[in-house]
Chains A and B, each alone.
Chain A
Amino acid sequence: KAGVTQTPRYLIKTRGQQVTLSCSPISGHRSVSWYQQTPGQGLQFLFEYFSETQRNKGNFPGRFSGRQFSNSRSEMNVSTLELGDSALYLCASSGPTSMNTEAFFGQGTRLTVV
């Protein structure tokens, strides 16, 4: 069974640009969550999607957005990038039920904003 796939693995962007990260969950999983990991703030929850609906949202500015497609694949977008957005972005796949199931993480996308 294939794991969670995140693309790309590494990304370098310039301040002010926008970026889109992709996550393909484990087959059959319907929940996808996104986390930001930085040395200073640790692991912070961005949002969760379940069956194409955003079910939870963390405390991030509106520049951070996401969506989920009918095949459960998810994308997150960050617009008007800031230096502080440099982080490891992790996607987690859970399911097929709606709650409290273990999350399986991808290897992450390392975003560097210069």
Chain B
Amino acid sequence: AQSVTQLGSHVSVSEGALVLLRCNYSSSVPPYLFWYVQYPNQGLQLLLKYTSAATLVKGINGFEAEFKKSETSFHLTKPSAHMSDAAEYFCAVSEGATNKLIFGTGTLLAVQP
């Protein structure tokens, strides 16, 4: 069965610093991987999606993620954090030939001025 693990439930960075949010997956088949962001009292917004077309995936708001099969990782990065990036971020894997998503436990990103 597929699963994802997010390391670090809380990450704090300074404005302008690199953002790195970690996600490792477990899957017996080539996975479909996603990163979502959630702002307070809101639903989830898709940041980016990996579908095996390219290992480096660029998303919205300057975020990108690199799929590394050898490390079973799909870490999310952004070169320079902005105050508006403060939110909770979820890594997810799609299970089988369906749209069911299995989510990680989330990482709350704080951006300090």
CB of B14 within 8 Å of the partner chain: no
Inter-chain contacts of B34 with A (CB < 8 A): 102-103
Residue of B nearest to A49 (CB): B99
User: Most chain-B Cβ atoms within 10 A of its Cβ — which of A33, A56, A103, A107?
Assistant: A103
Contact pattern, B 38-54, Cβ under 8 Å of A = 1, otherwise 0 = 00011111100101000
Question: Complex Cα distance A107/B99, Å?
Answer: 19
Inter-chain contacts of A33 with B (CB < 8 A): 99-101
Inter-chain contacts of B45 with A (CB < 8 A): 105
Question: Complex Cα distance A48/B99, Å?
Answer: 8
Question: Complex Cα distance A111/B25, Å?
Answer: 31
Q: Which of B32, B43, B102, B105 contacts A100 (CB 8 A)?
A: B32
Q: Which of A45, A90, A99, A104 contacts B46 (CB 8 A)?
A: A104
User: Most chain-B Cβ atoms within 10 A of its Cβ — which of A6, A45, A102, A104?
Assistant: A102
CB of A106 within 8 Å of the partner chain: yes
Inter-chain contacts of B106 with A (CB < 8 A): 42-43
What's the count of A-B pairs with C-beta under 8 Å?
69
CB of A81 within 8 Å of the partner chain: no
Contact assessment for A92 and B51 in the assembled complex, using a CB-CB cutoff below 8 Å? no
Q: Which of B16-24, B78-86, B90-98 contacts A (4 or more CB under 8 A)?
A: B90-98
Inter-chain contacts of B99 with A (CB < 8 A): 31, 33, 48, 50, 92, 94, 98-101, 103
CB of A26 within 8 Å of the partner chain: no
Q: Which of A4, A6, A100 contacts B97 (CB 8 A)?
A: A100
Question: Complex Cα distance A87/B76, Å?
Answer: 27
Q: List A residues at the B interface (Cβ < 8 Å).
A: 4, 6, 31, 33, 35, 42-43, 45, 48, 50, 55-56, 90, 92, 94, 98-108, 110
**28 contacts across the A-B interface (CB closer than 8 A):** A4-B43, A6-B43, A31-B99, A33-B100, A35-B101, A35-B103, A42-B104, A42-B105, A42-B106, A43-B103, A43-B106, A45-B101, A48-B100, A50-B98, A50-B99, A56-B95, A90-B43, A92-B44, A92-B101, A98-B98, A99-B94, A103-B34, A103-B44, A103-B46, A103-B99, A105-B44, A107-B42, A108-B42
